[in-house]
A and B are shown apart, each in its own frame.
Chain A
C-alpha cells in the first residue's frame, strides 16, 4: 500500500472543471477545492511502483494544472519488500 496526499495547484478559472476531472480518476480521492485554486487529493496504489507515474500522468493529462505538491507519503507495508 502506497498513499500520498497532495495539493494540486490549478489555474483559478479552470478549477471546478479540473476538480471534476481529477475526482473521476482511478485511485484518486479528492477532498475539495480550497482557497480558489488548490485541490486536496489522495493518490493511492497497490504499491509505490506506480505512484510517481500516476502523478506525472495527472499532470500531463489535465490541462490547467500548475503543479502537484505532495505533503505526505506512507509505505508502511512496503518497506520490507
Chain B
C-alpha cells in the first residue's frame, strides 16, 4: 500500500470533509481519512452565530488543533463559514486571560481565586446589606451556555433577591420576542431551517444574510440555484453581498419600512392573495389598543398605506412594493427571514408584527416551506436567555416573575423561599446601565460580554461602570469593559467546558469538554456557584457538581411548557445532532412545525378542538386566546431621530463576515484582522461628491452624541443619504454615536438609525 505523508493525509481529509458536505464520496471505499488519524474528533457546535452549525473539534495531545464541519448535522451538513475555521486560534490565543485580577491603586493586578472571590462576595454582601438586593445586577450573554445563565438566575433572582438580571440579547432580539408573543402568542418560530428547501419565495428584511448568517445564506443560494423559479426579495437600505441572489431589492430610507409591509398587505388583499378563511378561523385583527376589528376595518385601515402612500413614506417606488407583494402572494410557499435591521428599532415589535401579518393574512404559516422566521445573532440567545429566562421579567423555562404560581414553582425547584423572587420585573438593559450611572445600582457582575463597547450611546454608560463595583468574568483580556473592572475573573472558553446551546430553530445541542481550560480559567457556572457559596448560599448551591445536574434541573422546569425539553437529557443530546422542542419524551423525535399536526402539544391537547372548528392550526402559546394569532393594525412610526439640516444622514451599523461583535475572539486571528483590519464608513458616491470626500480619506462622522474619525469607503452600497459603519473595532467604537432610544415594548434600542453628519477630517 502506498505510504502517504502527513500533509497528504491532512489534504485528503480536508477534501473528503468538503466533499461530504455536498453529499459526495470522493474516494469510495477509502476509509483512512476518517479513521486512522491520530486526532480525536468531538461533536460540538460553532461558538459564533445563532445559525448553530455543527462542528467537529479535532484534539491532539490535549490541544484543539483542527475543526471541520459536522457532515451529520442537519443545519450545515458539513459546511462552515470562514469565522469558525479560526476557532482553534481563538482558544489558543495570547489574549486569553490566565488568572484572576483585582484592581489595586488603579491597576489590575494578578490575584488568587480565593482572594478575588472573597472580595466579590464581601462587596456584594456589603452592598446588599446596606442598600438591598436591587442595588446589585447581573448582565449576561447570548453566548453563555444555558447552564451558566441558569446559575446566574438562581443566584440573583432566587438568592440575592433581585430581578436585575439581563443579557445582551435585549440588544439584538427582544423585538423579535415581542413580535412572536404578540402575533403568534408564543416566542420563537413555528418552523425550522428545513423550510428553506421547501420554499418558493424568500423575503429577506434588514438582514445581510450572506455575511451575518452565511450558512443559512448558502442553503438559500443552493436552493435557488437548483430551482431558478424561486424568488428572493431583499428589503434593506444597503446593497450587500446578499443581493447576489436577490430578484428584487427594495431600498427604504432607514427606519421607514413599516409602511411597506402594510402596503404589501394592501396589495395582497386587493389582488386576491389573502386567505380569508384562514384569517377568519385562526386570527383576531386588533388595533394598538387591542380592540378587535373586522376584516373590512382592516382593509379600511390599509387604505392609508396604498403603495403610492408607502412610497412617500419609505422612498421605495410603489411599483416595486406591488411587485414584492405579488411575488409573496403568487408563491405557493413563502418564508420571511429578518434580523437586526428590523429588531433594533423603536418600532421593532411593530415591524415584526407586520411581517407576521403577511403570513397570517395569506395562511403561509404552519405548512412546509412557509414561515415567519427570525434569525438570531448569538449562538445561545434563544436557548440560554429567551428559554433560560435570562431577562429581568423572566424565570427559566418560559416562566414569568409576575406570576405567583411561576415564582412558587421555580422557588421550590431552587430550594429557596418563594418570597425571595420579587414579583416585579427588574431593570431592562438600558435602565440597568442608567441606574448604574445614577448610583442606584452599586455592583454588577458582567459575564461573557463587553457592554462598554456594545451598548448604544456607549460613552454615556462608561460613567456608571467607572464609579460602581464592576466584576467581569471573561475568557479574553483586555476588553473595553475590563478597563472599568474592579475584579476580572478568567472564564473557561468553548471546548474547555460542557453545556448546551439552543440556536435560532429551537434546536438544543450539546457541546462537550474537549480540553482543560487554559491557565487558571474556570467554567462560568462554577465561578457563579462558588461565589454563591462564599456569599452564604452554600446550602442552595451545594448540589451543582456537574453541568448535567444543572441541565437536568432546568430541563425539569420545562416539563409541560411550550418549550418542553424533557426528552433531551445529556445522554441523548450527546448522541444526536440536537433536538427541536417541544420534545416531551425521550422517544419523541423533536418537533418540525409548531401549532399544527406533528406538534406533540397540538396533537395531544388541541388537535380535535381545532379540527372540529375547521382549523388546521391552534396557537396555544401563553399570549394567545382561543387558539388564535393576531393580525395587528400597526400604523407607521418614524425612527426616534430623523435626519435634519444639521445631521443630514441616516447612520446605520452592522457586522462584516470576518468578524464577530467586539473582536474579543476574531480579533485574535491575524488572518481575520488582516481581511478587515479597521473600521470604515461607507458613503454613497453622490454624497461623497457633495461633501468633497474622496475614497480612503479620513472623515469625521458625527451624531448628537459624539464624533469619530474613520476612513471613507466611497461605494454605492448604502443608498444616498445613508452611511454605514461596522461596529467591531474598539479603536473606532461606532456605538458611541448610536441612539439609545428604545422600543417601548421590547426595550430594544434603536441601533439601526441615528442622524449623523460627515465632514472631511
Contact = CB atoms under 8 A, between A and B. Distances in A.
Interface of A: 1, 3-7, 9, 12, 29, 31-32, 34-35, 37-38, 40-42, 44, 48-53, 55-56, 66-67, 69-76, 79-80
Contacts, number: 148
B26 A31 contact: yes
Contact of A76 (B18, B60, B69, B217): B60
B14 A53 contact: no
Given A12-B225, A69-B80, 4 more contacts: A52-B672, A66-B225, A73-B86, A75-B65
Contact of B671 (A49, A67, A71, A76): A49
A3 B672 contact: no
Interface string B404-417: 00000000000000
16 contacts: A3-B7, A4-B85, A7-B19, A31-B18, A34-B24, A35-B23, A38-B22, A40-B18, A41-B18, A44-B11, A52-B672, A66-B244, A67-B217, A69-B218, A71-B79, A79-B64
- Of the candidates B66, B81, B92, B217, the one having the most CB atoms from chain A within 10 angstroms of its own CB is B66
Contacts of A52: 82, 86, 658, 669, 671-672, 674-675
A69 B670 contact: no
Contacts of B92: 79-80
A73 B85 contact: yes
A75 B89 contact: yes
Nearest to B222: A9
Contact of B66 (A9, A50, A53, A75): A75
Contacts of A48: 86, 89, 670-671
Q: Which of A50, A66, A67 has the most CB of B within 10 A?
A: A67
Contact of A72 (B7, B69, B658): B69
A8 B80 CA distance: 12
Interface of B: 7, 10-11, 13-24, 26, 58, 60, 63-69, 78-82, 85-86, 88-89, 92, 210, 214-215, 217-218, 221-222, 225, 244, 658, 669-672, 674-675
B17 to A, nearest CB: 4
B88 A75 contact: yes
B675 A40 contact: no
A4 B24 CA distance: 17
A76 B7 CA distance: 10
Q: Which of A6, A55, A66, A76 has the most CB of B within 10 A?
A: A76
A53 B85 contact: no
Contacts of B210: 67
B221 A5 contact: no
A5 B671 contact: no
Nearest to A51: B671
B675 A56 contact: yes
Interface of B is mostly: helix
B671 A53 contact: yes
B11 A71 contact: no
Contact of B58 (A42, A74, A80): A74
A67 B22 contact: no
Contacts of A80: 92
Given A7-B22, A34-B19, A74-B14, A79 B88 contact: yes
Contacts of B86: 48, 52, 73
A35 B79 CA distance: 16
A74 B80 contact: no
A71 B10 contact: no
A44 B678 CA distance: 26
Secondary structure dominating the interface of A: strand
A8 B47 CA distance: 24
Contacts of A49: 670-671, 674
A67 B19 contact: no
A40 B82 contact: no
A5 to B, nearest CB: 3
A50 B670 CA distance: 9
Contacts of B11: 3, 5, 29, 42, 44
A67 B670 contact: no
B18 A5 contact: yes
A12 B222 CA distance: 11
Nearest to A77: B65
A17 to B, nearest CB: 17
Contacts of A7: 18-19, 21-22, 79
With a 10 A CB-CB cut-off, give which of B10, B18, B20, B217 has the most chain A CB atoms.
Answer: B18
Sorted nearest first, the 6 A-B pairs with minimum C-beta distance are A5-B14, A52-B671, A5-B18, A72-B68, A72-B17, A73-B85
Given A29-B15, A37-B225, A55-B82, A72 B22 contact: no
A31 B19 contact: yes
A25 B337 CA distance: 37
B221 A66 contact: yes
Nearest to A31: B15
A75 B658 CA distance: 18
Nearest to A35: B22
A69 B24 contact: no
Contact of B15 (A37, A42, A76): A42
Nearest to B65: A76
A73 B79 contact: no
B204 to A, nearest CB: 16
A66 B17 CA distance: 20
A67 B245 CA distance: 11
Given A31-B26, A53-B674, A70 B81 contact: yes
A42 to B, nearest CB: 5
Nearest to A12: B225
Interface centre among A31, A50, A55, A56 (most CB of B within 10 A): A31
Contacts of A70: 18, 69, 79-82, 85
Contact of A74 (B23, B65, B244): B65
B221 to A, nearest CB: 6
A5 B80 contact: no
A48 to B, nearest CB: 6
A60 to B, nearest CB: 12
A75 B2 CA distance: 25
A47 B179 CA distance: 47
A48 B688 CA distance: 37
A73 B675 contact: no
Nearest to B658: A52
